[in-house]
Amino acid sequence: MSTNIIEGNPTKKFFIEMITRDISIEDAIIDLLDNSIDGANKISPDDYSNLFVELTINDTEFSIRDNCGGFSLETAQKYAFRFGRPEEAPKVKNTVGRFGIGMKRSLFKIGKYFVVESESQQDHFKVEVNVDEWSKKTRQVVVNGNQNTTIDDWSFNYEIINEDSLGYKGTYIHVTELNNEVKDLFADDSFLSDLVESIQKLLNFSLLKGITITLNGRKLIGQKNELLFSDSHNPYYAEGVLGDVKYRIIAGLGEIGEPKKSGWYVYCNNRLILEADTSNITGWGVSPVPKWHINYVMFRGLLFLDSEETLNLPLTTTKKGIDATSEVYKTLLPIMKHAMISVLDFLKQIPQMGDKANEYRQLLCDNSERKTAIELKEWKFIEHAEKKFDAPELDLDIISQKKETVRIAFDANKNTANVAKIHSGARSYKELGGIVFDYYLQMEDINYEES
């Protein structure tokens, strides 16, 4: 055995500084939320009702508490507190949070003292860490057969808990001795407001699937991302499987008056990765697709990517960007561009209507149904051809006919609405709405004249 060896091990202080440098405080918090959502997904993939995540954030502490199943001591010993993902680590299906560096990176980013307590079906334990003390922790090893040397000790100590102190199967993380920049942010109401908005956008799938997320007692609400549907127009869609990755592409029209919502939305395992993207990474400005322009304000594109193995998804390490070098993404981008061209060719024609253009755009919105991203992910395009955008009619006469009308809309239970649609003989929910309105006028003996 060669004795001509120079050790190249990193110091813990250097390692901590490096892994926390490129992640924001907001991303660190959302990383921890991702782990809770992953737990919820293992418990009940389709319905997160009765599951919760509670965040407490102020200038002295950070805590996150959930009832999403917790993780076992074996998982903690082999994977959760390891730096990096061992090759033998089992797959955690359909997740974006991975036991690699995510949890540790987030905790080191936030503060200098943390407690992680987890109660699972298997066991209940606690890990308590003073980061400054841990960074100085060393141990003696024997090298070259008989030579003692001191190296960094990267291990964490744990304590078995024999009582049901959490009251549920879940995880509780508490961080104190906050880092200075974190103290300042956590005392800033604008930061907390921005964090609320980010969580509601990035985790909207999970919120709309029923999980309750609270921040300092405030219940968060999932933000809906919607496309327009009507009898006269339908979005472009394409779907398939690339290796282990299932994809669905949908492109169509959205509301006017909301330029910041125009563009592509990319979801990986239901986690929003790109929001309203109008950059070249989603094909804008890459021939033959033009750069984004206000005339394209109604464009909405959805890309859903799902894989049991997270490493197959084109995710960056911060999970707030797409790895454009991924073979999966490079294969899908031409389809996305084809979808864009199909929709933009229609949108380019609207300005030719002159001063009637905005009126026509509003007319489309007023006379269309909306479907959310969650609905569209599972929507059955039964009578609609794949890779084809059914554009609305560009008819000025429609505007004059509709000037004296208004759109009336309401939500109803889907099963009940289907029964009513069949019973009435209506061909669409829109037609059913007209029947219901006429029925109300008739039953209430309201006399009216159409103008």
* In contact, 303 and 264? CB cutoff 8 Å: yes
Write the burial class of residue 402 (CB in 10 Å: 0-12 exposed, 13-18 middle, 19+ buried): middle
Per residue in 362-407, pLDDT (tens digit) is 888 888 899 999 899 998 887 788 999 999 887 656 555 555 566 6
d(CA 330, CA 310): 17
pLDDT in the model for residue 394: 79
The mean pLDDT value for 41-70 works out to 94
pLDDT in the model for residue 296: 96
Identify the band that residue 428 occupies on the pLDDT scale cut at 50, 70 and 90: confident
Write the burial class of residue 107 (CB in 10 Å: 0-12 exposed, 13-18 middle, 19+ buried): buried
Identify the band that residue 415 occupies on the pLDDT scale cut at 50, 70 and 90: confident
pLDDT in the model for residue 442: 84
Angle of the 102-110 helix axis to the 25-43 helix axis, nearest 10? 140
Q: Is the pLDDT reported for residue 100 higher than 60?
A: no
Per residue in 172-183, pLDDT (tens digit) is 999 999 999 999
d(CA 213, CA 222): 10
pLDDT in the model for residue 67: 96
Identify the band that residue 59 occupies on the pLDDT scale cut at 50, 70 and 90: very high
d(CA 188, CA 90): 40
d(CA 100, CA 19): 11
* Enclosing H/E stretch for 246: strand 245-253
Closest CA to 118 of 66, 188, 52: 66
Name beta bridge partners: 63: 56, 174
More confident residue, 447 or 40: 40
d(CA 33, CA 288): 39
C-alpha distance from residue 23 to each of 28, 73, 210, 314, 449 (Å): 7, 27, 28, 18, 63
* In contact, 251 and 235? CB cutoff 8 Å: yes
* Enclosing H/E stretch for 228: strand 226-229
Q: At which residue do the structure tokens 């001063």 appear?
A: 355
pLDDT in the model for residue 451: 43
Per residue in 198-257, pLDDT (tens digit) is 999 889 889 988 999 999 999 999 888 899 988 888 899 999 999 999 999 999 999 988
Q: In 3-state terms, what secondary structure has residue 93?
A: coil
Q: What is the DSSP string of 189-222?
A: HHHHHHHHHHHHHHTHHHHHTT-EEEETTEEP-P
d(CA 434, CA 101): 56
C-alpha distance from residue 14 to each of 11, 128, 132, 152, 180 (Å): 5, 21, 13, 12, 18
Identify the band that residue 87 occupies on the pLDDT scale cut at 50, 70 and 90: low
pLDDT in the model for residue 1: 47
d(CA 96, CA 305): 11
Q: Which region among 35-39, 185-189, 255-259, 381-385 has the lowest average model confidence (pLDDT)? A: 381-385
Per residue in 269-321, pLDDT (tens digit) is 998 999 999 999 999 999 999 999 999 999 999 999 999 888 889 988 777 78
d(CA 323, CA 339): 20
* In contact, 64 and 36? CB cutoff 8 Å: yes
pLDDT in the model for residue 99: 43
Per residue in 107-161, pLDDT (tens digit) is 999 999 999 999 999 999 999 999 999 988 888 877 766 778 888 888 889 999 9
Range ranked top by mean pLDDT from 324-328, 433-437, 438-442:
324-328
pLDDT in the model for residue 141: 78
d(CA 14, CA 135): 10
More confident residue, 359 or 410: 359
Identify the band that residue 355 occupies on the pLDDT scale cut at 50, 70 and 90: confident
* Enclosing H/E stretch for 422: helix 414-424
Strands 226-229 and 369-372: antiparallel
